[in-house]
Structure 1
Amino acid sequence: MWLIYSVLAACSFGLRGILYHWTSQQSLNRNALLCGTFFMGSLISLVCALIFRQEWSVTALVGVQMGLFSFGGNASMFKGFAVGKASLVAILTGLPSIVVAMVAYMIWGERLNMMQISAFVVIVAGILLVRYSNEISLSNLQGAQWGLLALFLFAGNDLTGKWSTLLQSSLFPTLFLMFTTGACCFGAWWLKDYLRSNKDEQHPQSKWNLRNTFLIGMAVGITNVVGMILMIKAFDYGMAGLVSAVAAMNVLLVLLYTRFVLKDKFTRLEQSGLAMAFVGIILMRLFAS
């Protein structure tokens, strides 16, 4: 069951990635967009919590930690893209599942058998091949520190999600606090930039006003909250490292979008990475138990 939830989460996050890719090509305010994304997640989580009458217990406060990790991971990733090599940052942000598997083993004693380890390695290797760039060398590591920070923060978010299931925290109250925390953080960041731009009298022209940007962010937020719901359900049934690795395959959906919609050509490494990742999923299905 965990594998089904994980694959569905990867599909949802992949759709989110496609929307992120599209919005990145537009001249809009990134923080306003992400504030809208997290606000929508908060709104949907609140409505679901009320409809299903879920308990608002103290354990739901773990959602605040999830929100801080998610905000920090996204902020570090965007900072890395701004100051360093995008390819390097992309590789590093594709590795949280390794950290998750190691920490889950040390804290909760989650052990993988040899076949599961093999499937895990194949999936991670496939993801890395997809994200790999020949432009990277030891003398060209700009942004590595931000990529590493994003790696550990995203891993922290996954581990906290798993922890919420061990605490038996109610799903939607936890997600409400997570998304509300993220929305407040991105909203505060947007407000700081807005006040600074007014002070410096910089008013760039764009067809994307803040209202439209926020609404687009809310649309993206639907895919984000669905992905989080599915991922938390996967954590409830499966081991953290395996769930994290499968969910990280969302990058493959983005790659397929760039190939068939944007008509980009696959490199041999990308083709090899796609094949390896899908083989890894098949192996995971065969040796899921």
Structure 2
Amino acid sequence: MWFVFAVLAATCFGLRGILYHWTSQRPIDRNLMLLGVYISGTVITLASNVVFQQPWTIEALLGFFLGLFSFIANASMYKGYAVGKASIIALFTGLPPLVVVILAYILWREALSTWQFTAFFIVLVGLLLIKYSQDLKLNQLKGIQWGILTMLFFGFTDTTVKLATLSGASTFPALTVMFATGAVLFGLSWALGNAKANKARHEAAAAVETGLTERAGSWTVKKTLGVGMGVGITNAAGMILIFPAFRDGITGIVSAIVAMNVVFVILYARFYLKEAWNRREVTGLILAFIGILILRVAS
């Protein structure tokens, strides 16, 4: 059953990725939008726990680290896209399963069977082929530090989910703490960004005029938060599904399956945005699906 939960979680995160891409093309404050995502997650998981009455234990505080790691990963990813080459950051977002496999072995001696390792390797190669850009050059590594942080902290997030399940933390309390932590951190980031922008606008009349022009074309706070909360439904659903997947499945394998969410973004880009596929991307998709099939048989 864990395999089904992992695939469903990948589907939810794939939808989230599509919505992230869609919002990135709009005049939107990303910190404010992500604040909406985490507020939505807090409300959904808190309301769910009112219904299911899962116990609040000390282990639920692991959600704080989930929120912290998730915040750093998302912030690093967006910073990387802002200052570096997008293909470099995209490449690293496909690598967290490698971090998870290493950490799972160190922490819990969780090794993979021959078939599982083969499938994991095939999926990872497929993801890298999908993510890798042919125009990536060694002399274009600006922003690589943000890519490394993205890879590490998404990997830490997955590993902490596994740790939470092993410690007996209930799903909804832990996720409520996670989303509340993320909401506070993104809220502070948005507030600090606003304060800096306001200070810059008051320093010169030209800055005021520029700021007003930019704000006129931007979404309102209410609209941005509302869209973020809508996107947050897919994120919350994915996190709720990922808990039982990690609880019963092999950590590295679950992480690799969930990383397959990129396939949904690729399909969206191909059929909705009408982007052309090259041979490398088609090969990567085929390999990733072959790896998933082997995982299904080997599980």
**Cα distance change on mapping 1:56 and 1:254 into 2, 3 Å:** same
Tell me whether 1:284 sits opposite 2:298 in the alignment. no
* 1:232 aligned residue: 243
Amino acid corresponding to residue 171 of structure 2 in structure 1: L
What residue number does 1:213 align with?
A: 224
Structure 1 Cα separation of the partners of residues 189 and 16 of structure 2: 22
Runs of 4 or more off by more than 4 Å in structure 1?
A: none
The structural deviation recorded for 1:169 is 0.3
Q: Does 1:91 align with 2:102?
A: no
Counterpart mapping for 1:1-289 below 5 A = 1-201=1-201, 202-203=211-212, 204=214, 205-288=216-299
| Cα distance between partner residues in 1 of 2:293 and 2:236 | 27
Superimposed CA distance per residue, residues 125-177 of structure 1 (whole angstroms, 9 cap, x where no aligned partner)? 10100001011121111111110011111111000000000011011000000
Question: What TM-score do you get using the length of structure 1 for normalisation?
Answer: 0.98
CA distance in 2, matches of 1:3, 1:267: 30
Partner amino acid, structure 1, of 2:184: C
Separation in structure 2 between the aligned mates of residue 130 and residue 90 of structure 1, nearest angstrom: 10
Farther-moved stretch of structure 1 (248-257 vs 207-216): 207-216
Q: Secondary structure at the match of 1:26?
A: coil
Q: Rg larger in 1 or in 2? A: 2
CA distance in 2, matches of 1:232, 1:287: 21
User: 2-side partners of 1:255 and 1:3: how far apart?
Assistant: 22
Query: How far off its partner does 1:207 sit?
Result: 4.5
How far is 1:206 from its partner? Answer: 2.0
CA distance in 1, matches of 2:218, 2:34: 18
Q: What amino acid does structure 1 have at the position aligned with 2:84?
A: G
SS class of match (2:283): helix
> C-alpha distance in 1, partners of 2:289/2:9?
16
Give, in whole Å, the separation in 1 of the partners of 2:3 and 2:287: 17
Deviation, structure 1 residue 231 = 0.8
Give the length in aligned residue pairs: 288
* Counterpart Cα distance in 1 of 2:272 and 2:82: 26
Q: What is the TM-score normalised by the length of structure 2?
A: 0.95
Q: Which structure 2 residue ranges, 5 or more long, are not aligned?
A: 202-210
Which stretch has the larger CA shift, 200-209 or 11-20?
Answer: 200-209
Report the secondary structure of 1:249's partner residue.
helix
Report the alpha carbon displacement of residue 185 of structure 1 after superposing the two structures with TM. 0.4
Amino acid at match of 1:24: S
- The answer to whether the 8 A contact 1:28-1:206 is kept is no
Native 8 Å contact 1:12 1:226 kept in 2: yes
User: Residues 60-103 of structure 1, C-alpha deviation per residue, up to 9 Å, x if partnerless?
Assistant: 00000000000000000111111111101111111000010011
The CA RMSD over aligned residues, in Å, is 0.8
Q: Percent identity?
A: 47
Q: Which amino acid aligns with 2:271?
A: F
